[in-house]
Amino acid sequence: METTLVLVKPDGVMRGLVGEIVGRFEQKGLQIAGMKLARLSKDLLERHYADHKAKSFFAGLVAFMQSGPVVVLALRGLNAITVVRGMMGKTFGKDAAPGTIRGDLAISSSFNLVHGSDSPEAAAKELGLFFGPGEVLDYTLGNRDWIYDVAAELK
């Protein structure tokens, strides 16, 4: 099982799409291991987006992410990182396939509703930035046996 970070960005929160976005992840079978509503500090965002610091869009990205609250999620499941990234769709809504979050709900090249970790290393780093000790919970979903073939997939 992997745990990954997902952020519902300010545009998703302000458009009232939190339930739709979180619901898609839950319906897929991903487990919510942590969730909170937060206003992110400039310092946290600069650490989170440090790889983009030299890029022209960095300052605008940080300002956008501070423009409103975000929903911070820790999602857990088999191959969670790959599954979440596939569900999100391509970065820009205009390019994202129908059926994906961005393909169905976004059209902008600036506002793309969600962020998801892109690797196990990034997920570990990002989860550590956004969640403190004890905020990501470990528990068994009551419907796990109907989501996974426990004998074959969870060895």
Angstrom CA distances, 43 to 9, 49, 122, stand at: 17, 10, 18
Is there a contact between 96 and 103 (Cβ–Cβ < 8 Å)? yes
Marked catalytic residue, from 115, 123, 126, 130: 115
Lay out the sheet containing 114-116: strands in order across.
Answer: 31-38, 70-77, 2-8, 114-116
Short-list 35, 36, 33, CA closest to 2: 33
Q: Would residue 48 show up in a list of annotated catalytic residues for this protein? A: no
Active-site positions? 115
